[in-house]
Structure 1
Amino acid sequence: MEEFVVLVNPEDEVLGLMEKQQAHVNGLLHRAFSIFLFNSKGEMLLQKRAAEKYHSPNQWTNAVCSHPRNGETYLDGAKRRLKEELGITADLSEKFNFIYKADVGEGLWEHELDHVFVGTYEGDFNLNKDEVDDVRYISMEELDQELAENPEHFTEWFKIILEEYKHHF
């Protein structure tokens, strides 16, 4: 099934729809959301993208990043993808949004108006292996160290979103 993203201008006004991969080839601004989940110890949940992903396979990133469907709110899209990727539900609150553009290799770009949600989760996962290879919690100190030592192990957009997140908290 073809997936489409919602193309927007910087004010989040809808310009149209485009097949997801084509939007990433063209580097066109589209709606997206990112989810940061934490456990009771304040550790951040990371997911390792599946090897079959068409870009950034086998790289670590935040809990979930994806796109709302046409007519779907950012929050509803975020909840849908939590269930589809990690097999979980969690209370989420939107913290901020911003626009970024990142070269993700292979001639592909992430150019997104990204709404960032934060929540907590303690429990089991039912991973969709087509999307997610593994998950783990990590302290912010350990994450900063891993990012400094092995930045290539992490998605380009995660590095950008994490820095933006740190500016807000």
Structure 2
Amino acid sequence: MEIWDLYTKERVKTDKTMIRGEAHPRGYYRIVVHICIFNSEGKMLIQQRQPFKKGWSGFWDLTAGGSAISGDTSQSAAERELREELGIDFSFKELCPAITVNFQEGFDDIYLLDSDIDLSNLKLQFEEVQAVKWATAEEIIQMIKDKFFIPYNEDLIRLLFFLRKHKSLHTECDFTQTK
């Protein structure tokens, strides 16, 4: 049984919880995390879900992700999901999500990491993950169109690849120059 902490729309933790699979209580929100690992070639590590996994069975997905369970922070949930699904130990203590996407039932914190991971060293969680590989943004978008990848908005995929490269919302600008 998986228990989730519930939050206000301002992301303040309440004393309320819910059990996964129950009806989501109106006016309360939960935290979901996704981790996207990119290699030095600019490709994202993606995973294929097991055919027997409930929800998006057999589909490809971002590197790792899942719901924060009761007692988790966003960072500890990201650490746990990455360790459970792929056997990767990484500390998120000093990290903030690169982006948070608000959805009807909560907040989806997306973390971006750079690492040239050797896929043969990964320990795939049998219950959830059947395969992993590196993919470009174009390959992922084509997989979405071909219905092999969870149908994320294509612009979100492009944004993740953009933020991985640019790490900032601003372009470089010299404000000391005046006209």
The TM-score with structure 1 as length reference comes to 0.79
1:74-153 aligned at under 5 Å gives the runs 74-90=74-90, 93=95, 94-101=97-104, 111-121=105-115, 122-123=117-118, 124-148=121-145, 150=146, 152-153=147-148
SS at match of 1:21: coil
Cα displacement (A) at 1:154 = 1.7
RMSD over aligned Cα, in angstroms?
2.7
Residue-pair matches, total: 157
Query: Which residue matches 2:30?
Result: 30
Conserved? CA contact 1:5–1:23, under 8 Å: no
Query: Which residue matches 2:171?
Result: none
More strand by share: 1
Relative contact order, higher structure (CA 8 A, sep 6+): 1
Gaps of 5+ in 1: 102-110
4+ residue runs of structure 1 moved beyond 6 angstroms?
none
SS at match of 2:98: strand
Cα displacement (A) at 1:157 = 4.8
Cα displacement (A) at 1:19 = 0.9
SS at match of 1:155: coil
Gaps of 5+ in 2: 167-179
Cα displacement (A) at 1:14 = 2.4
Amino acid aligned to 1:143? I
Conserved? CA contact 1:46–1:63, under 8 Å: yes
- Identical pairs, percent: 23
Conserved? CA contact 2:65–2:82, under 8 Å: no
Distance 1:84 1:158, change over 3 A: farther
Query: Which residue matches 1:106?
Result: none
More helix by share: 1
Conserved? CA contact 2:141–2:157, under 8 Å: no
Cα displacement (A) at 1:162 = 2.7
Query: Which residue matches 1:70?
Result: 70
Residue 7 in 1 paired to residue 2 in 2?
Answer: no
